Structure 1
Amino acid sequence: MTKKRFLLAAAAGLVVVSGCSSAGLKAGSANDSKQRTVKVMFAESPSQKVNNGSPIQNEIARLMNIRLEYEPIAASNYGEKKKILLATGHLPDIVQIEKQDVNDFASSGVFLPLMDYMNRGLMPNFKKQWDALPDLKRLTVDGELYGFPAIARNEAKNGFGPVIRTDLLEKHHIPLPRSFDELLTALGKLKQLYPDSVPWPIRKGTSQLLAAAAYMMGSGYNVSGGMYFDKDVEGGKFVYGPATPAFKQVLAYFQKAYSMGVLDPDYPVTTQQQWTEKLTGGKSFFFLDNSGFGLNFTRDLRKSVPEGTFQVMPIPAYKPGSARAQLYPTTFSGKMFAVSSKAKDPEALVKLIDWMYSEQGSNLMNFGVEGVHYTLDDKGQPQLKKSYVDRFVRAQPTPYYALYSDLGCCQLSFTPWYSNTMSQFQIEKMTGNWDALNEQYWQIVASDPAYGEQVMEPPLTKQEAARVQEINNRLNFILNPEYDKFMMGLKPIGEYDAVIASVREQGAGELESIYNSAMSRMIR
């Protein structure tokens, strides 16, 4: 977007400069007042390092007189750091949160309520998303919205999926597994053939493994607790996964995988970097996680193993005739950006974030400066400039992550209406990294009927949210130390029945009632 077009948009109310000064909306006045610094805290992915002073930050400073100062926290520590700040109320101006944080902390007054700003017409761009996506109302507590949801833009379907070394299956005449039992058999054969291998490594510990795998195996789990929506239980209802016999079977499966030497013995403590090195270094052959990693892993693996190939599999059946998986949300990503209730001039921050939901704002936040980093095609859609993309052809960890880091853009940055696959596809095609493997990958995912959309949690009242937090804290305290004991075989799986009884007595059933009642109330 040219400066002239931007200022015309500003005059229409799409942008705000520091302090909401009306003079700041006039051409040529961006430097007439003192520049405001706005601090933004969010999780930093190891794949995309934060580049403070990025072209996007500089352009916002030039056009709006607002300097965004990013305060990245390593993703592995973000949850703990965030909860400490939320509990003490010492927040930066804007902070990345999730729905559970809203449930847990909205009543404390730490977040700026947003509905009044929207009702007063100060959030016109977000209001379009709100009206077009009814599920966003599920993010409220007592009808109040406390954070701007990160919403995907033109996202291709994708999700947690099983990825395996198909070259090794072919080399050793091992059939492609069609069920989880067959998967364990195949990985067991590879362990026998390669005794020093760890066929199935994990990143980010036990919660990540269970969140990725439990639903596919007939139960369910999420990283903040055990509650999930199960389409196959009584026509569809919320279930507390760890308090069910189905979850016991998930733990039994991993206990067997661990005893066979298939599951990495270091799975509870393996970092993402170690996980990547095991897979790309030829020590590991399978993962169940973000399946798109397999495309990059293949390229790195082929530096030492020319025929090496990681490819996503159709979702294996957890019982005869039953296979299921959940797509990543193609609208709401799961994270939100909340404004601190103590921030100075909150209206300016609300208008700033609202502008990021406009097409002009989203173009800047995802593709950089028009004419410098991208141009618009004949349909008005942004297309990255090849001269810019070519700078990252050999960049690590991948050309697209390196470009995102340079720009300060897209899903893993402070980007409320974000691009992910839309820009990734452009970059991979321009850099020559789009090949038959990519085509096959996206075709497998798109054509697999096992994938289904996730069901978002229903909106709760403040009283319900407080009770949910209380019960979740109690149950997590009971359950978190138990999972590894069963998975590692330190406890016989039969003893998990006592755990089920205990957590149901301690509130799992009440949690299910709260969520299902809230769902019924919402759809009435």
Structure 2
Amino acid sequence: MEKKFKKFLVLISFLSIIGFLLAACDNSEKTEGSKKADIPESENAMENYAVGDTFKAKEEITIPMLYSDHPNYPYKKDWLLFEEIKKRTNVTLDMTIVPMSDYAQKRSLLISSGDAPIIIPKTYPGEEVPFVSSGTILPISDYVDLMPNYKEKVEKWEIEPFLESLRQDDGKYYVLPGLHEDVWPDYTLAIRTDILEELDLEMPTTWDELETILEKMKEAYPDVTPFSDRWEFKSTLNFAATSFGTSAGWGLGSALNFDKDKDEFVFGPASDGYKEMVTYFHDLVDKGLLDKESVTQDDEQAQKKFVNGESFVIGTNSQTVVDYRNDLNEILGKDKFAIKKIVVPGGPAGQVMGGSKLENGIMLSSKVKDDPNFEAILQFIDWLWYSDEGQEFAKWGVEGETYTKDADGKRTLTEDVNYVGLNPDGTKALNADFGFSGGNFAYGGTTDLLHSMFSEEEIEFQEAMHETKELILPDPPIRYDEMELERSTLLSTPLKDFVDTATYEFILGDRDLAKWDDYLKELEDMGMNDYVDLANEVYKKEK
């Protein structure tokens, strides 16, 4: 009897355990599916929405959106862009218009007060960080399963390593970035190639070769300072730093560089590569090859010197090189000069290229999750900003009205439409008169789409960069928690301000490069080691 009773107890215990495990599994499934379960049922979402589908809400819906208004193509409610969006998708965008000059400040105020529209575009990676802890913006990475075009491009274009830099300490990211198929280098130097030809010189491939060219220019034109830069020299420091194995200028960022061999972060502006870079540019100034005013003059002054023949080299991108050429046409006349973008010179770190496949993107107000059209809104965003069809539409407009496409897929603006000089005889602007190719909608996409509005000259530059350069992948992320981030910011802000000032002082000769150790000591006194130690502690903890 006792044995039977014991067997009965064992059976009861076994059944209880089985019941507990089944309940746990059921709860686990509910937990894992909670993201989907928490989403309000959206009657206007498309069923089985997938890559290749054109999104169209079942009934008309209105989505509030913030809009950065560019002074060169101010917002117009009756643009063909909005008319066509409504026609194709059943979506009306209720715009909150903010002048571009006030956009960042107004965006912050609206988000902080809880009054931000649902879609918040023109957000560069990193600009979302101040709003993460407050819960006012959506952790969009939780919901990308509802965005098939976005997911497909992330996988097909190997975007994930770049997305890592967006993830916060909770492992989520809060901004939907614009996605490029390839890294897109743009900024470099423009050079007067007619002067090169006159002096029997070749285009430079390294910084040392560029220095030799500047010396020859100075010998031939003693009254000219061959290199006078714009953008306060920050653009040149940015793309030059990569080839010296560091970061600077626009690309200084956190000022931390990852040492793969040591598996740790170091303070970039304290490195040998940084010293080598500032020494190089100091030598250019010392020899009268680089204009001292490069770090202080405004863009108009720098451009004026270049087009007036007071300099032969200047910072540029795909658009400004066109501006230089137009100005030189007026001053010197066609066929009296030639200019070209230099493939970014190589340096001590080799022929390398930094950059990202990410661009500015979208934040979503966290209140969107309670919107009855949440799923439909994500489908709409996925189509307009991330599908091939939506990206072509936002960039080129409506086929047959603003552009045509031939059998080979080549796009051409229609007869009376112009954009960035592609059709100079056109009297209507693709952006100002129709709303397309504007910064709130048109970014990212395939390399073919990107190149479709480039001149042959710019495509040649892009191809040369990719053919001759090794791409450096982004550093691993450092996922600070809220307190760590606050401490990191307190340490880094004065350090980076000091680095900016000291960099210019070294280049201009106002700070003696022979006293580099004194500069390092100043960095240490300002907390450099504490800043680096904190970064490595967080990195290794996360790892």
Do both share a fold (TM > 0.5)?
yes
**Which of 368, 379, 393 is the matching residue for 1:364?**
393
Identity of aligned residues (%): 23
Name the aligned partner's letter for residue 387 of structure 1.
Answer: T
Cα pair 1:328 1:453 within 8 Å, conserved: yes
In the other structure, the counterpart of 2:495 is 475
In the other structure, the counterpart of 2:461 is 441
Give the Cα–Cα distance (whole angstroms) in 1 for the partners of residues 312 and 471 of structure 2: 26
- For normalisation by structure 2, the TM-score amounts to 0.72
Give the Cα–Cα distance (whole angstroms) in 2 for the partners of residues 309 and 326 of structure 1: 26
Give the Cα–Cα distance (whole angstroms) in 1 for the partners of residues 512 and 269 of structure 2: 16
SS at match of 1:201: coil
Change in CA separation of 1:138 and 1:157 when aligned onto 2, cut-off 3 Å: closer
**Which of 349, 354, 361 is the matching residue for 1:336?**
361
Q: Which moved more, 1:370-379 or 1:99-108?
A: 370-379
Q: CA RMSD in A?
A: 4.3
In the other structure, the counterpart of 2:34 is none
- Within 5 A, what are the aligned runs for 1:282-293? 282-290=309-317, 293=320
- Within 5 A, what are the aligned runs for 1:421-500? 422-423=448-449, 425-427=451-453, 434=456, 437=457, 440-448=460-468, 450-458=469-477, 460-463=479-482, 464-500=484-520
Change in CA separation of 1:405 and 1:159 when aligned onto 2, cut-off 3 Å: same
Q: What is the Cα deviation at residue 176 of structure 1?
A: 4.1
Cα pair 2:205 2:346 within 8 Å, conserved: yes
**Which of 261, 270, 280 is the matching residue for 1:243?**
270
SS at match of 1:223: helix
Give the Cα–Cα distance (whole angstroms) in 2 for the partners of residues 364 and 492 of structure 1: 55
- Within 5 A, what are the aligned runs for 1:29-44? 30=60, 37-41=64-68
In the other structure, the counterpart of 1:128 is 152
Give the Cα–Cα distance (whole angstroms) in 2 for the partners of residues 341 and 459 of structure 1: 24
In the other structure, the counterpart of 1:308 is 337
Gapped regions of structure 2 (runs ≥ 5): 1-43, 51-55
Cα pair 1:38 1:66 within 8 Å, conserved: yes
Cα pair 1:150 1:332 within 8 Å, conserved: yes
Is 1:205 aligned with 2:224? Answer: no
Give the Cα–Cα distance (whole angstroms) in 1 for the partners of residues 246 and 420 of structure 2: 42
Please say which structure displays the higher CA radius of gyration: 2
Q: Deviations over 1:331-356 (max 9, x none)?
A: 323x2321244679663754542332
Q: What is the Cα deviation at residue 456 of structure 1?
A: 4.9
Change in CA separation of 1:109 and 1:469 when aligned onto 2, cut-off 3 Å: farther
Is 1:415 aligned with 2:415? Answer: no
Is 1:60 aligned with 2:78? Answer: no
Change in CA separation of 1:291 and 1:131 when aligned onto 2, cut-off 3 Å: closer
Change in CA separation of 1:195 and 1:398 when aligned onto 2, cut-off 3 Å: farther
Give the Cα–Cα distance (whole angstroms) in 1 for the partners of residues 105 and 278 of structure 2: 26
- For normalisation by structure 1, the TM-score amounts to 0.74
Cα pair 1:160 1:325 within 8 Å, conserved: no
**Which of 402, 405, 422 is the matching residue for 1:373?**
402
SS at match of 2:293: coil
Cα pair 1:160 1:327 within 8 Å, conserved: no
Name the aligned partner's letter for residue 520 of structure 2.
Answer: I
Is 1:219 aligned with 2:246? Answer: yes
Cα pair 2:422 2:453 within 8 Å, conserved: no
Change in CA separation of 1:308 and 1:228 when aligned onto 2, cut-off 3 Å: farther
Kindly tell me the number of residue pairs found equivalent between the two proteins.
Answer: 480
In the other structure, the counterpart of 2:57 is 25
Change in CA separation of 1:225 and 1:157 when aligned onto 2, cut-off 3 Å: closer
Is 1:143 aligned with 2:171? Answer: yes
Name the aligned partner's letter for residue 415 of structure 1.
Answer: F
Is 1:71 aligned with 2:98? Answer: yes
- Within 5 A, what are the aligned runs for 1:344-359? 347=374, 350-356=378-384, 357-359=386-388
Cα pair 1:160 1:328 within 8 Å, conserved: no
Q: Deviations over 1:496-516 (max 9, x none)?
A: 432223324544445545556
Q: What is the Cα deviation at residue 151 of structure 1?
A: 0.8
Cα pair 1:212 1:289 within 8 Å, conserved: no
Give the Cα–Cα distance (whole angstroms) in 2 for the partners of residues 70 and 376 of structure 1: 33
- Within 5 A, what are the aligned runs for 1:85-234? 93=118, 94-118=120-144, 121-132=145-156, 133-135=159-161, 136-141=163-168, 142-152=170-180, 154-155=181-182, 158-221=185-248, 223=250, 225=252, 227=254, 234=261
Change in CA separation of 1:124 and 1:510 when aligned onto 2, cut-off 3 Å: farther
Give the Cα–Cα distance (whole angstroms) in 2 for the partners of residues 325 and 199 of structure 1: 25
